[in-house]
Structure formats: structure tokens, C-alpha cells
Structure 1
């Protein structure tokens, strides 16, 4: 994989995909970019920015090759960056004729493919024969809105082959994006999934008017919960305090930009789950992740009171106030 000569294509058109496009264009001359709607492409070309997300980020559109056919962008790209909600990934990739097994992937998806509870790397390997060493995972605290503003951010790129992780990392690093590497693709993906669930829990606590003192206890318990789970599912030596794990959890729990925290806050204030989604008009990955992690944990029986509290509210119709009171009795 030669970063300087490889052609990168982005599948996704939301805020995170837009932020990734900005990062890529710091390092390569041109990118390929997939949009589902041709009218969005035409508006983008006319305006010079994504008409739906991060409109403050202006692009030189002559440096972008726009696509609305997934097969074409996969065929024309050596490295494919995935930045779509995980629940939509099977639909987007269904019917592909192109061979993905020779492609390189960089996943910006912080979610789980829910129909079989597969991580993105597992999904690509199982259904498209993509070798694990050909998939990089973007981890760490990384809100798209701050990348758009060129706020200093620290990202981790994981790959089972660390030299390849370093080559992937060079695609997105810049004066405002510092990168590090990891060989822990399972741990970084699972914690990226779990932190969204925990952010919903923190949002519920906020909506119920629990204070900062309680939030600190919830988060300190949650990071231990995450460690117990990833150590059970993929037991290797890792430092859960690294920014790829703990940092990503903290920013998702506390940030004003966190969709998952917002979903939880609305539920804590009395919204039904359905009405909270309607009010947000955005995808919160933690909703889907909650069901998947709950089902995966049936095989491991890890003690995860925060995640189980969120699942009971989202999927078992438990009243938020009562579920939170039960949780408070389990925390330390």
C-alpha cells in the first residue's frame, strides 16, 4: 500500500464523512466521494461545500470526483474509507460486483453491524473476504465539528499490522490531527461501540437531573465495565486509559456534539425512545449498539450494569427513573 499513489474513496456523506474528506485532502491531491443522491452532488458542486453537513467547510470541488454508484467508486479506489452508520452498511454494500478482497479499508464507523452483531472488520472479512490486515480502524476522541474547526485532535489508527496502521495514519494526519497506532482492532472497535451506549446512560442521568458528582462515578464505573468486556472478548494486553479508549468515552459522554448523550438526555426528560429519535432527526449509534452488546454478552456474562441499564430502557420498556435508581445501588 503506497499512500502517496493510492486513490482514496469515501463512502458516506454525513458530518464525519465530511470531516474525513477534509483530513484526506490535507494529504492527497484528489479523492473519490460517494453520495446517494445526485441532487446533493449538484448542490455540492455549485456551493463548494456539503449542503447538508458542516457547511463551514469549503472544498476545492475540482479535487473531488463525485460518485453515486458504489460499484464504480469501489472499482476506482485503492483505499476505501467507510463513514456511514453501521446499520446501513449491509444495504450500501449489497449487490456489489467489484472484488473487495484486494482493497484496503479505513473504517470510521463507530458502530456494530447489527443483523449479526459483527464488528466492521469482521463483517468485511466474513462477507467480502477482506483480510484483517487490510482494514484500519479510526479510534479516539473525534467529533466532526471540531475537526471542521481545525481544533487539535488526537486519533489512533488500529491495524493488526502496525506498519500498515502507520501508513493508514499518514492519510489523516495534519497540523491539527496528531496520530498514533495500535494493533488492537477488536478492542478499539468494541470500546468505540460501547462508549456510545454509555453516553446514552450519561445523557439519561443528565435528563433526570443527576449532577456532575454522579456523572463522574458513572463514567469511572463505565470504563471498568468496558475493560471487563473487551478483556473477555479479546484478551490481550491493553491500557484502557489510552485516548483510543478512555478519551473517546469521555468526549462522547460530555461533549455538546454527542448525539448519543442527546438521545439519553431526551429520554431522561420523559421522551419516548421513538419521539427522541424524531426530535433529533439524526442517527445515534448507541441505540443499535445496545441490543448487539447485550446479545454478545449472553456468551460472556460480563458484569455490565451501565450498559444493561441502558438496554432495559431502550428495549425492555423500563422507566428511566426507576432503572437509574437501580443502577445507583450497583455503582461504587
Structure 2
């Protein structure tokens, strides 16, 4: 059944998801805060800044007018950088107050709010009153926008405490190359999605330093153990972390040049300063802020996260990467599953 959907955020992932939904037969409006970007999408069916060679479906509507994007919508998909999610949600509420609609809210971003360290479903629940919405659903998993744009086979998870809403989102996105599973462990899905970006920075740094496959495998495996420990401390189900939003997302983010977090780490490993890396990237590197959040949450919960701590030292205390690696390797021996 066709749904009227607003996609908020015209970066690479938001644009590709909006385009996919159009191809699935839905009426989709893509909102951007930049009028020139909306004009480009509407007149040229391109979004060159984020997807240089991708031609968009001509049925996709783009606008810089939030009220127009949200008119009579049944579903709102947030694909907004973490640090802007709360601000945009407040603007959405202003529009929804004039409407009788109670849309399903989806978010497909991966990070924790800066300062508060809250998961994004919590942020959205705080800002969008229950009377103005149906359930909140998290869409997450191993997915690069460039691969989805090319029709590469992709599997994600739709997570919500409301299973019926997750199943609705599942049906919105499913097609012959995009498969969605459902999950009720919202905490685990969001924590896995956010924390894997921290490990991806480390994986990129190892590549930049010239380390091989053994090292990367060790980092990813022990990194997953850290992600699981912190997630479980906040109520996540352990098995979630061996699913798509856990190990699946970790693999794709730690091994691909499409990953901004991996590319940032790679440049750090090659000797670039963090300031220069972030300036050159041109897009948000969510893992940098998430590293600080994860480090502080681990301290609060007394969860052992040595890899995350090492990455924090490099990013926020200007410690030498080589010295941090040596410190990690010289720690006292322990049981693997302890």
C-alpha cells in the first residue's frame, strides 16, 4: 500500500533511502535545509555533493520547506546528523501541531547525542509528544549508501518496542535487493549502530599504519566484545550484537573505503591531525563524538573498554597511536569471554 513519506536529510543515506522508497511505489518528499540542493534534485535529478554519479528517480520530490514536506504525511524518516536531530525534531513538532496526522517516526542515523549521550530514539521521544506520533522505529544495519544506490543486496533491521510498527517499516522498504528484518531490542540496535563507528576509526588507523588482516580481525572481534559489554549494561540483549546491527554493521564499517569513520582513522594513521582530517572530510564523522560519549558512559557504568579508551586518548588527549597500541598489547592476560 502506498504511503506518503517525508525523508528529512538529503545527505547520501537520506537521498538513497528516499529514492528507494519512491521506487517501491511510495509518495516521497525529501527535505533539505538548502534550497539550492532541493532545486538541483528537482531539476537535474542529482545530488552531486553526496552522490556524484547517481541519477535520482524523477518522481522524487525535494523541498527546503519543512511544512510542505510534512503535509499529510503518514511516515517521517529522520536521516539527520546526530547533533541536529533534536533541533529538527522541535521544528517537526511545530508543523505537526497544525495537523491531525500521527505519523510513524523512523530514524536511520547512527550515533549518540552529544553532551547527553542519549540514544536518538530517546531524543525523538522526548521532543515529539506521543499524541503527535505513532511508534518510533530504528532502521539500522550494514549499509553504505553507494552500494544501495547501485542495487547491491543489503539487509537491515527495523527495531521498535511496537512490533507492528516495525513490521510496517519492514514492508515499506523491502524489495528484491533490500531486505529488512524486525527486532524489538531498540537499545541493542542503537548502541551497536553508534559504537561500531568508534571501532571503525581504529580499523582505519591500523590500515593507515600498515597493519595487516590479523590485526584488523583482532580489533573488530575485541571491539565487538566492548560494544556488547556497554550495550548490555544499558539493557540490550546480548544476541543483538551478533546480528545485522552489531557484527554486520561492524564488518562493513571497518572494512570499506565508503565509511567516513574508516577514512578518518586511515588519515590519522598516516599522520594527519584530527583537525585536518575533519576539515578534509566535508561530512560529519559520527565516530569522533561517539568515542567521547562511549568513553564517558563506560566510566559511569564501570565497563571495561580498553580499545575505546585508546581511541579516546588519541582523539581527545593527542596521545601517540603507536604508544596506545603497545599499551593495549601489554595488558595483563585474561579469559577471552570474561
TM-score using structure 2 length: 0.91
How do 1:32-71 and structure 2 match up within 5 A? 32-61=29-58, 63-71=59-67
Q: 1 CA distance for matches of 2:45 and 2:91?
A: 31
In structure 2, the residue matched to 1:19 is 16
Give RMSD over aligned pairs.
2.0
In the other structure, the counterpart of 2:178 is 177
Aligned to 2:190: 189
| Alignment-derived partner of residue 284 in structure 1 | 285
For 2:311, the equivalent position in structure 1 comes to: 310
Per-residue deviation at 1:103? 2.8
Which residue of structure 2 aligns with residue 6 of structure 1? Answer: 3
Deviation of 1:53 (Å): 2.2
Aligned residues: 328
- After TM superposition, the structure 1 stretch with the greater mean CA deviation from structure 2, 94-103 or 74-83, is 94-103
- Residue equivalent to 2:164: 163
Alpha carbons of structure 1 residues 254 and 237: separation in structure 2 relative to 1, 3 Å:
closer
Q: Provide the residue aligned with 1:83 in structure 2.
A: 79
* Alignment partner, residue 121 of structure 1: 121
Q: Which structure 1 residue ranges, 5 or more long, are not aligned?
A: none
Q: CA deviation at 1:237?
A: 5.3
1:139-158 to 2 correspondences below 5 Å = 139-158=140-159
Higher RCO (CA 8 Å, separation ≥ 6 residues): 1
Question: What's the CA shift for 1:29?
Answer: 3.6
Q: Deviations over 1:141-196 (max 9, x none)?
A: 00000001001111111111222211111111111011111001110101100000
- Unmatched 5+ stretches in structure 2: none
Aligned 8 A contact 1:16 1:143 in 2: yes
Confirm or deny: 8 A CA contact 1:241 1:247 kept in the other structure.
yes
User: 1:235, CA displacement in angstroms?
Assistant: 4.3
